[in-house]
Amino acid sequence: MSLTVWLSLLTASVVISFTPGAGAINTMSNALAEGWRRSIWGVIGQQLALIVHVVIVAAGVGLIVSRSPVLFDIIRYAGAAYLAYLGLRLIFARVQDLSEAASDAPRLPESHWSMIRRGFWVNLLNPKAIVFFLAFIPQFIRLDQPALPQYLILIVTVIAVDVLVMWGFFATAARPFQRITHTARGQRTLNSVFGGLFLAVAALLLFVR
């Protein structure tokens, strides 16, 4: 992959990562609930899903999904249902006033694996991502050159950029709002906001073709 092509890939990756979506919402929600440092586990899960998307497209499965309305709709409905579940779970989540936490049992932090799993499924169950990568990847892969090194460069670049944007920007952007989570009312408000955003993305995934 030439330097010119790689710079184009880098620029495109930055633009894509900064586009708000379910991954950004999940990252900010994790940062508020679990703290900026621990939100990295959700970001890692999202990157694992990106790798799967690239592999799917590289193997030609993405083309099958994009050309099969039935497969596309199955994945689309599953993705919308999962995002709706996350949204409703946030909205109806039990909250705790941290000022009273000393007298009550402290809330246990979410496990690393739970955050990784949620981040993975949030990114994976998006058929539009497969179709997007189907259009995105061929622009940076030369058929007259070995495919594996090009795909490795593409995956490393996309993941590095997405981690920096998700953790360095979206998770960091949520930090000033952490003081709101010290009260039950503040937690309930933020849970409702992010739960509503998850439901909105689910609706877009379900109804916008």
pTM beyond cutoff 0.95: no
Return the C-alpha torsion angle 121, 107, 173, 153, nearest 10: -40
Assess whether pLDDT exceeds 80 at residue 128. no
Question: What is the arithmetic mean of pLDDT over 183-194?
Answer: 78
Say yes or no to pLDDT of 120 above 90. Answer: yes
Q: Rounded mean pLDDT of 121-141? A: 80
- Judge whether 91 lies within some domain: no
Q: What is the tally of structural domains in the chain?
A: 1
Domain that holds residue 27: 23-68+110-183
Q: What is the pLDDT of residue 155?
A: 92
Which whole number is the average pLDDT over 182-199? 79
Residue 15 lies in a domain: no
∠ Cα 161 162 166 (to 5°): 125
d(CA 145, CA 154): 14
pLDDT of residue 196: 86
For residue 181, the model assigns a pLDDT of 67
| pLDDT of the residue at 174 | 83
* Residue 53 belongs to some domain of the structure: yes
16 domain residue, yes or no: no
Q: pLDDT at position 164, please? A: 94
Mean pLDDT of 16-44: 87
Query: Residue 161: what pLDDT?
Result: 93
| Contact status, residue 176 vs residue 31, Cβ threshold 8 Å | no
Does 47 fall in a domain? yes
- Predicted pLDDT of residue 192: 85
* 172 vs 143, more confident: 172
**Residue 15 and residue 154: Cα distance in Å, rounded?**
15
Mean pLDDT of 111-133: 85
CA atoms within 13 A on the CB side of 13: 23
Q: Output the average pLDDT for the chain.
A: 82
106 or 113, which is more confident: 113
Residue 120 within any structural domain of the chain: yes
* Residue 46 near residue 120 (C-beta atoms within 8 A): yes
50's CB contacts (< 8 A; 6+ apart) are: 123, 155, 158, 159, 162
Q: What is the mean pLDDT of residues 146-150?
A: 86
Q: Quick check: is 88 in a domain?
A: no
pLDDT tens for 41-93 read: 999 999 999 999 888 888 887 777 777 788 888 888 888 888 888 888 888 87
Q: How confident is the model at residue 106 (pLDDT cuts 50, 70, 90)?
A: low
**Residue 115 located in a structural domain:** yes
DSSP structural state of residue 104: S
**pLDDT value of residue 166:** 92
Q: What is the pLDDT of residue 107?
A: 61
